[in-house]
Structure 1
Amino acid sequence: MTDAPSGGPTAGAHDPRTARRVPEALDAYQQRERNPEYRVDVERIRFSPYYSRLSAVTQVIAQAGAGLAVHNRLTHSVKVAAVARGIAVQLANGEHAALVDRLGGCDPVVVQAAAAAHDLGHPPFGHLGEQTLDRLAKDRFGLREGFEGNAQTFRIITRLDEYDRAGAGLNLTAAVRAAVLKYPWLRGEGDDWFGRDEAPRGITPASPGTGAYKFSAFALDVHEMHEARAAYPEIAPLQQTVECSVMDIADDIAYSLHDLDDFYRAGLLNQSTISAEFRAWRRERAELHAAEQGDLVLSQRAPGRALELLWRRLAAKDPWIADEDAFADAVARVNDEVIDGLLAVPFDGSMLTERTLSQFTAAWIARLQHSIAVTATPPIRSGHVSLDRTAWHEVAVLKFLHQRFILERPDLALYQRGQASVLERLVDGFAAWLDDPRDVRRAPRRLLDLVDLAAEDYARVRREAPELADASDGAELRRRATGRGIVDYVASLTDAQAMHIDALINGSPERLWDAGQGL
């Protein structure tokens, strides 16, 4: 297949998708490229220091985990881009091309750019770091929106990472900015959805008054979100663009398989334990279906119970696609191909096991890439583009392997609690430094710049949308800006930088200058 031209009914010189925050001319070399505006975006993201740092931000296990390599956020992003591109080319040239065009198009280069950018906002130590910074932002600085990795990604590309002019971020096209908005709403918008039977995926608060569980823009950047989304009049307010849905699906596919790859290499997936879970559910399926929810929760460590609880969560949250027979088929397929297939032979680093793993991963990715459904009027928890029923259940079961047998491990939890304490010390240390009038001038320059940027943004929000402002007076505004600047700074560190700076700020490094790199 070849790339299709940029889609959409207004594609061309006046396509609102190609609009940048600040208009700029393409040079003679760029104009010779196909879809030059989007290729410029891809390269700006790839050359960003925020993108480079992803090579030193872990997914779940450390880089020295096992085998030739373990995925980090950068290798994950590269592979998400490859999977997303394959889906986009398929859509642009397939039977649904006319519908995709009407919805705004699906340019393969746009989805590559969005995939490259989608994890830029991940802080040190992955999702654990995200949860910790969210808590610290709220508790230490009173920031109602806390911290969210997806919203941080959008803030980076539109504000924090500057290409060649102040105040314009990377100056990306509207198409790429819209394509990273997986959850196109603010945190506060989630409160209206608490308790509803059906709600967009990610918007329902964990408890009343806490705001959306996931969101893709802070109030500081809401004008940017609305501007990018305005290029897609056919997309409903809480729906992803087609290109965003493709990136999101590719992220799910890559995550479900590449984490499995890592855990297999590291010897963390106990084949007999996992097999017992799957065998018990298949053998006792009728009895487990009839069991009381409370009894299952109390006995969920017993084989088969966790899989039954997974099925019940899927059925409760996604009745639009959840199907008991499809779930059973997915359990059977994962059992046959992963548990009794791949995991039956322990990874030993040999070329044979490397080859077996590569063939397994490639086959699953290829099949899932071609298991795509497109609809003009999607359910509220889905997008215009989604996995079909069979693939949706298979990805859910693959993710279950990680959640149940890796993320719930006590040894991982112990390690992550130690990482959380590093972030707490960093935030407290920088807050104390900026509160010291005698020494604040020696604080890291970028930290001071980020605080100033946040102060400008809070002042603008207070003028233009006071209902969204966190602060009511100048002193409180500066306190919030200081908190947001510190969180922006700490979130931009790599895992190693966070550890080194923690040692520095607590006075314990042996080699000052080496340990201080990254300030």
Structure 2
Amino acid sequence: MERDPRALRRDEPPAGVTGWPDLADNPFRADRERIVVSPFFARLGGVTQVVSAAGSGLLHNRLTHSLKVAQVARAVAERLLASPGTAELTAKLGGLDPDVAEAAALAHDLGHPPFGHLGEGVLDRIARHRFGLADGFEGNAQSFRILTTTDVRGPSVVGLDLTAAVRAAVLKYPWARLHWPQPHPAAMPNPPRGAAEPADLPGTGSSKFSAYSTELDDLLQARAPFAGRLEDWQQTVEASVMDTADDIAYAIHDLQDFHRIGVLQYAPVAAELGSWLAHALDLAALDAAELAAEARRPGRSLELLRRRMHVRDAWIVDDDAFAQAVSRVRAELVDGLLASGFDGSIEAEQTTAAFSAHWTSRLVGGVVVLEEPGSRSGHVALRQEQWHEVQVLKFVHRQFVLLRPELALHQRGQASLLTTLVDALDAWLGDRDEASRLPRRLHDLVELAHAEYARLAADAPALLVGATGEPVSGADAVRGLARGRAVIDFVASLTDKQAVSLLDALSGRSSQPWSDSFVL
């Protein structure tokens, strides 16, 4: 009987081994178990979601976030398969298995570096500007690199050797930064989410992508079973489930966190939403210059969101649906959850839990499968009503949490820490007298990256370019790229606490000769 191509793995077991010992017989369930026992998964408990949890039980970290995304992804997949006609449609599009969606959700944030998205931006700039890596750093691509390359729990000691379906489901942005596919989705008239170049960084490629050039073969192999069913730039159905679940979890649980610690306050959120609802027509009549000049006044930021949505997402945006979403969020988040505050009481805990459960159920219930979505949507999407509600919930989080000056102050310090840490590790690599005492993990990563870039130089030189697009050739240049990628891989594998402790040790501020920062 021919094997399901979605269940094929990349590697055969080592010689003399009849099979790799998994706890589950189902290959997709086995993938889930391989991900869960990975140390890269365990480290997510020490990685920032929005702000460092620092041991607090009140804030999500990347591990608890991933668990909730997995819970939502499985619920979405099972609900869709139970809907009349949906199973046939998803089979036509390449398949939908709850185990695959759940495994992808568990794995989707493995590549997040210390300090979350702040760390992601810092490492990308360092990778491109200091080390000349055209691919830079991207959390989704780093997740795929871990699963296929830098984790060592698979049978060939390279990656986890997951099935094609799970690897493809992790590809939230199924393209490379610059080189694949051709034509590149960044050149589309209305590029998929994340595919466009950053407006302030022309020529650098897509702002979001899911594979470095070193893992391009793995991307192509994972996508092979879906050839002819999906466009090269389209997510698989299971990747689309994971992506939608991530949006749902993000929209709800981070708001819940910041309500519990008193950061998300009733008055400013009520003023913003209430002012827009009361003056929507007047705000819509303001020209762009007037709106920008009054940006700090209540209601103006929400009006700017409405206008951006018309530019980016004309395929689904609707002013009536937007107004209804603002009204619902005002009633249930502001006048419901935030109005009573959080005092740690049983009643407050129950109110917070009920808010989370209600919104999760509502948004999961709004998920549908689209046979022919536009370029800005996956095959799995929210109905128009719920889509607008997610945009408003995410707006509240961004406007009243992420843009707070206190958070900016905290993040500037974290950015400086990561930059200094990379400098210190790079200097250590360049110290011939101390090279023999490098952390073994860093030494191994240098050797791995050198083998990868040497292979690209020999087999696919067109992929080997510097950050400015110029061809890279010569043994020294290849070694330089490998050294840079290894340092980035090493730092990205740390928890928040390990990054701080390692820099303390390297700068002489630590009195302890042994630290878990060196056991990676």
In the TM superposition, 1:330-369 aligns within 5 A as 330-369=325-364
1:297 has 2:286 as partner:
no
Give distance in 2, aligned partners of 1:357 and 1:113: 28
Aligned residues of 2:101 and 2:166 also touching (Cα < 8 A)? yes
1:329-356: CA deviations, max 9, x gaps? 1000000000011000110111110011
In the TM superposition, 1:425-436 aligns within 5 A as 425-436=420-431
Aligned residues of 1:509 and 1:515 also touching (Cα < 8 A)? no
Q: Offset of 1:514 from its aligned partner?
A: 4.1
Structure 1 counterpart of 2:76:
87
Q: Offset of 1:298 from its aligned partner?
A: 2.9
Q: Offset of 1:23 from its aligned partner?
A: 3.4
Structure 2 counterpart of 1:477:
478
* 3-state secondary structure, aligned to 2:381: strand
Q: Offset of 1:69 from its aligned partner?
A: 2.8
Give distance in 2, aligned partners of 1:515 and 1:417: 25
TM-score of the superposed pair, with normalisation by structure 2: 0.94
Structure 2 counterpart of 1:280:
275
Q: Offset of 1:166 from its aligned partner?
A: 3.7
Aligned residues of 1:497 and 1:518 also touching (Cα < 8 A)? no
Using a 3 Å threshold, how does the CA distance of structure 1 residues 230 and 293 change in structure 2: closer, same or farther?
same
* 3-state secondary structure, aligned to 2:321: helix
Q: Offset of 1:167 from its aligned partner?
A: 5.1
In the TM superposition, 1:368-383 aligns within 5 A as 368-383=363-378
Q: Offset of 1:393 from its aligned partner?
A: 0.5
Structure 2 counterpart of 1:20:
9
Structure 1 counterpart of 2:446:
451
Using a 3 Å threshold, how does the CA distance of structure 1 residues 288 and 195 change in structure 2: closer, same or farther?
farther
Aligned to 1:73, which of 62, 85, 98? 62
In the TM superposition, 1:68-467 aligns within 5 A as 68-95=57-84, 96-166=86-156, 168-189=158-179, 197-207=189-199, 208-233=202-227, 234-467=229-462
- Structure 1 unmatched ranges of 5 or more: 1-11
What is the total number of aligned residue pairs between the two structures? 504
Structure 1 counterpart of 2:496:
495
* 3-state secondary structure, aligned to 1:230: helix
Give distance in 1, aligned partners of 2:406 and 2:438: 36
Aligned residues of 1:181 and 1:240 also touching (Cα < 8 A)? yes
Aligned residues of 1:459 and 1:477 also touching (Cα < 8 A)? yes
1:279-310: CA deviations, max 9, x gaps? 11111111111111232223211100100011
Using a 3 Å threshold, how does the CA distance of structure 1 residues 478 and 64 change in structure 2: closer, same or farther?
closer
Compare 466-475 and 151-160 and name the one that shifted more: 466-475
Aligned residues of 1:54 and 1:74 also touching (Cα < 8 A)? yes
Using a 3 Å threshold, how does the CA distance of structure 1 residues 382 and 29 change in structure 2: closer, same or farther?
closer
Q: Offset of 1:460 from its aligned partner?
A: 1.5
Query: What amino acid sits opposite 1:435 in the alignment?
Result: G
Give distance in 1, aligned partners of 2:292 and 2:187: 22
* 3-state secondary structure, aligned to 1:380: coil
Aligned residues of 2:23 and 2:33 also touching (Cα < 8 A)? no
Give distance in 1, aligned partners of 2:189 and 2:334: 35
Query: What amino acid sits opposite 2:475 in the alignment?
Result: G
The share of aligned pairs that are identical, in percent, is 50
Give distance in 2, aligned partners of 1:296 and 1:486: 45
1:6-41: CA deviations, max 9, x gaps? xxxxxx85210000001356689867x5xx101110
Give distance in 2, aligned partners of 1:101 and 1:28: 30
Give distance in 1, aligned partners of 2:21 and 2:285: 68
Give distance in 2, aligned partners of 1:334 and 1:39: 37
Structure 2 counterpart of 1:3:
none
* 3-state secondary structure, aligned to 1:187: coil
Give distance in 2, aligned partners of 1:30 and 1:61: 35
Aligned residues of 2:11 and 2:155 also touching (Cα < 8 A)? no
Give distance in 2, aligned partners of 1:261 and 1:64: 18
Aligned residues of 1:45 and 1:116 also touching (Cα < 8 A)? yes
Q: Offset of 1:516 from its aligned partner?
A: 4.9
